[in-house]
C-alpha cells in the first residue's frame, strides 16, 4: 500500500511542498531543486555529503523581521549563538544589527575575533568556567547573566576593585513550556536560574544590588524551546514585572531591562504550528505596558534571544543514499551517509523531519520509508515513516529542510566520521563557510601512547 493510498494526493503533495524550505527554494521540471538559484546537487558534488546549505537571504529576512517586530531603543534582539555559529554568520548578524547571546568562552572568542562588538554580547551559563568568566571580562562582554547565588561574589571578585560589570539575573518563573521535557527551562526544579516562587530570586537581587562592582540591569528568563504559543511568555512577563515591583518597593530601584529569552517555535514539517515573532512582539508590548502601568513602573527595555527561529529554516542538510532495504516486516529503510553525528535531534528529542528527493524527478508512487543514519545504533534514524518515492536507490540525494539550528552546533564525530561542511548560498553563488572535518583533523588530536 502506498502513502498516497493511505493519506490521499493532497496530503502527499503537502508533504512534498516547499512550505518549510527557505523562500528561495525552487524546483526545475527535471526535479533539480535550487536554493538561491544554486542547484543543491551541484553543492553535493562539489563539497560531498553530508553537507549543510544555508540560505543567506532567509537568515537576513528573519533577522529583519525580528528587528522590525522588536525595534530599538525599546527592545533588543540577541541571536542565541548555541543554535549555530561561525565567523561568516557573526558578520552577517552584525550587519543586521542583532546582539548575541553566548554560553561559553569558545562562542564568545569566536564572535569577538570575527569582529562582533563585545558590548552587544550577553554571556549565559549555569556552570560558567573560570575561562568563561575571564574571557568575558577580558573582552568586555556587555552583560553577564547570573544563574545562581554563588556567581554573585565570584563575578564581583573577578571584576576587581576598579571595574563595574553589567549583569542580569536569570529567574525561573515556574512555567512549563517547550516542545520536549529536555528543553523546558522555566520550571523551578531544574538546573537553570533562581526560583521566583521560593524567594531565591528576590534574595539574589538584594545581594547583587549590594555589590558596588555589579550593575544589575534587569531580570532574565528562558522558558524552553519550540514554544508555539504566546501565553507562556505573557505569564512569565507578568510574573517578572511582579518581581520588579517588589524590587522597587524593597530597594527603590526600577530595573531598566527585561529579557524573556528565546524558544520561539518553528515548523519542521508542513503544517507544524509556529510562533509568529511579529504577533509575539505586539502582545508582549501591550502586556508590558499594561503590567508596568498597573505596578507604577517605567516600561523596561525588552530583550529577546531567538536562535532556532533565525537560522533553523534557513538550513538544508543534504545526504547521499547508500543503501535501500525492505525488511521481512515490510519496512523500507533508506540508509544515508550521515545520521546522529550531524543531527542528534531525532534521537534526543524525537524530532520529525520531512526529507525529500532532490536531483531527479521520480514518477514512482510514494511509500513509507525510514531514513536511517550510518552510525552503529539502531536508534540512529533521521526520519521515520516519511513519504519517499518507491524507486529510491543508492546514489540518490535526499534533502532535509530546517537543518540550520542545533545541527552542526550539536554534531559529534561519532564513529570517527568528520563533521560536515557549511555552504552559504546567495544570488546564484555558493560560498564555503565551514570546511568538512577531515580524518587528518581527527587524527591530529590523538597523541597516541
Ligand atoms: C538562555 C537561552 N536563550 C535563548 C535560547 C535560544 O532558544 P531557541 O533557539 O529555541 O530560540 C536558549 C536555548 O537553549 C537559551 O538557553
Q: Provide DSSP, 38-70.
A: EEHHHHHHHH-SSEEEEEHHHHHHHHHHHHHHS
pLDDT at 13: 53
Beta bridge partners of 78: 99
Q: E-strand spans in 283-346?
A: 301-304, 315-326, 332-336
d(CA 402, CA 68): 23
| CA distances in angstroms from 320 to 14, 27, 50, listed in the order given | 23, 19, 7
Residue with CA at minimum distance from ligand 1 atom 12: 262
CA-based Rg of the chain, rounded to a whole angstrom? 23
What is the β-pairing status of strands 38-39 and 33-35?
Answer: antiparallel
Q: Count CB neighbours of 369 within 10 A.
A: 24
225 lines ligand 1 (CB under 6 A): yes
225 CA from centroid of ligand 1 (Å): 6
d(CA 291, CA 277): 20
d(CA 322, CA 438): 20
309 CA from centroid of ligand 1 (Å): 10
| Phi-psi domain of 175 (left: phi exceeds 0; alpha: psi -120 through 50; beta: other) | beta
191 CA from centroid of ligand 1 (Å): 15
Residue with CA at minimum distance from ligand 1 atom 5: 262
d(CA 171, CA 147): 8
- pTM, whole model, 2 decimals? 0.95
Nearest to 79 by CA among 61, 64, 63, 60: 63
83 lines ligand 1 (CB under 6 A): yes
Contacts 24+ apart (CB under 8 A), 32-37: 32/358, 32/359, 32/360, 33/356, 33/358, 33/359, 33/399, 35/316, 35/425, 36/425, 36/426, 36/427, 36/428, 37/425, 37/427, 37/428
443 CA from centroid of ligand 1 (Å): 33
pLDDT at 16: 52
Burial tier of 235 (Cβ tally within 10 Å: 0-12, 13-18, 19+): middle
Nearest to 154 by CA among 173, 136, 171: 136
193 lines ligand 1 (CB under 6 A): no
Nearest ligand 1 atom to alpha carbon 124: 1
Alpha helices, DSSP H, located in 296-335 = 308-311
Nearest ligand 1 atom to alpha carbon 185: 16
The cell for 82 is 548555541
Residue with CA at minimum distance from ligand 1 atom 4: 262
Q: Count CB neighbours of 122 within 10 A.
A: 27
Nearest ligand 1 atom to alpha carbon 264: 11
Beta bridge partners of 114: none
Nearest ligand 1 atom to alpha carbon 308: 9
Q: Which of 89, 93, 222, 267 to mutate to test the pocket of ligand 1 (most atoms within 8 A of CB)?
A: 222
Nearest to 35 by CA among 315, 407, 420: 315
The cell for 68 is 522590525
Whether the Cβ atoms of residue 152 and residue 144 lie closer than 8 Å to each other: no
211 lines ligand 1 (CB under 6 A): no
264 lines ligand 1 (CB under 6 A): yes
pLDDT at 14: 45
Q: Which of 63, 82, 404, 405 to mutate to test the pocket of ligand 1 (most atoms within 8 A of CB)?
A: 82
83 CA from centroid of ligand 1 (Å): 8
101 CA from centroid of ligand 1 (Å): 9
d(CA 216, CA 194): 15
3-state percent breakdown (helix, strand, coil) of the chain, nearest 5: 35, 25, 40
d(CA 181, CA 431): 37
Nearest ligand 1 atom to alpha carbon 225: 10
Which residue ranges in the chain fall short of pLDDT 50?
A: 3-4, 10, 14-15
Amino acid at each position: 500500500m502506498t502513502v498516497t493510498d493511505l493519506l490521499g494526493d493532497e496530503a502527499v503533495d503537502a508533504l512534498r511542498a516547499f512550505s518549510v524550505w527557505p523562500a528561495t527554494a525552487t524546483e526545475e521540471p527535471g526535479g533539480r531543486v535550487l536554493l538561491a538559484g544554486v542547484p543543491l546537487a551541484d553543492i553535493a558534488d562539489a563539497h560531498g555529503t553530508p553537507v549543510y546549505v544555508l540560505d543567506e537571504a532567509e537568515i537576513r529576512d528573519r533577522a529583519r523581521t525580528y528587528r522590525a517586530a522588536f525595534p530599538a531603543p525599546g527592545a533588543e534582539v540577541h541571536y542565541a549563538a548555541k543554535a549555530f555559529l561561525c565567523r561568516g554568520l557573526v558578520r552577517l548578524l552584525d550587519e543586521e544589527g542583532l546582539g548575541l547571546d553566548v554560553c561559553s568562552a569558545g562562542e564568545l572568542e569566536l564572535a569577538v575575533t570575527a569582529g562582533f562588538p563585545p558590548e552587544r554580547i550577553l554571556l549565559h551559563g549555569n556552570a560558567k568556567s573560570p575561562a568563561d568568566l575571564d574571557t568575558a571580562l577580558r573582552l568586555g562582554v556587555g552583560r553577564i547573566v547570573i544563574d545562581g547565588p554563588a556567581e554573585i561574589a565570584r563575578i564581583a571578585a573577578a571584576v576587581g576593585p576598579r571595574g563595574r560589570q553589567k549583569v542580569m539575573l536569570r529567574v525561573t518563573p515556574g512555567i512549563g513550556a517547550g516542545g520536549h521535557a529536555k528543553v523546558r527551562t522555566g520550571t523551578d526544579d531544574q538546573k537553570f536560574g533562581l526560583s521566583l516562587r521560593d524567594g531565591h530570586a528576590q534574595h539574589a537581587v538584594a545581594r547583587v544590588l549590594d555589590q558596588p562592582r555589579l550593575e544589575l540591569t534587569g531580570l532574565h528568563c528562558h522558558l524552553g524551546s519550540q514554544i508555539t504559543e504566546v501565553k507562556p511568555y505573557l505569564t512569565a512577563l507578568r510574573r517578572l514585572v511582579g518581581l520588579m515591583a517588589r524590587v522597587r518597593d524593597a530597594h527603590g530601584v526600577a530595573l531598566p531591562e527585561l529579557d524573556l529569552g528565546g524558544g520561539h517555535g518553528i515548523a519542521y514539517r508542513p503544517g507544524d504550528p509556529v510562533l509568529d515573532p511579529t504577533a509575539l512582539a505586539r502582545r508582549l508590548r501591550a502586556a508590558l505596558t499594561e503590567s508596568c502601568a498597573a505596578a507604577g513602573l517605567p516600561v523596561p527595555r525588552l530583550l529577546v534571544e531567538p536562535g532556532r527561529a533565525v537560522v533553523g529554516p534557513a538550513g538544508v542538510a543534504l545526504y547521499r543514499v547508500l543503501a535501500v532495504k525492505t525488511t521481512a516486516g515490510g519496512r523500507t529503510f533508506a540508509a544515508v551517509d550521515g545520521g546522529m553525528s550531524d543531527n542528534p535531534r531525532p534521537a534526543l528529542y524525537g524530532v520529525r523531519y520531512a526529507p525529500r528527493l532532490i536531483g531527479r524527478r521520480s514518477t514512482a508512487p510514494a511509500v513509507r520509508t525510514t531514513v536511517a543514519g550510518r552510525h552503529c545504533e539502531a536508534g540512529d534514524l533521521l526520519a521515520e515513516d516519511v513519504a519517499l518515492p518507491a524507486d529510491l536507490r543508492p546514489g540518490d540525494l535526499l534533502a532535509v529542510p530546517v537543518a540550520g539550528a542545533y545541527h552542526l552546533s550539536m554534531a559529534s564525530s561519532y564513529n570517527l566520521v568528520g563533521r560536515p561542511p557549511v555552504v552559504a548560498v546567495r544570488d546564484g553563488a555558493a560560498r564555503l563557510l565551514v570546511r568538512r572535518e577531515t580524518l587528518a583533523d581527527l587524527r591530529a588530536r590523538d597523541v597516541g601512547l
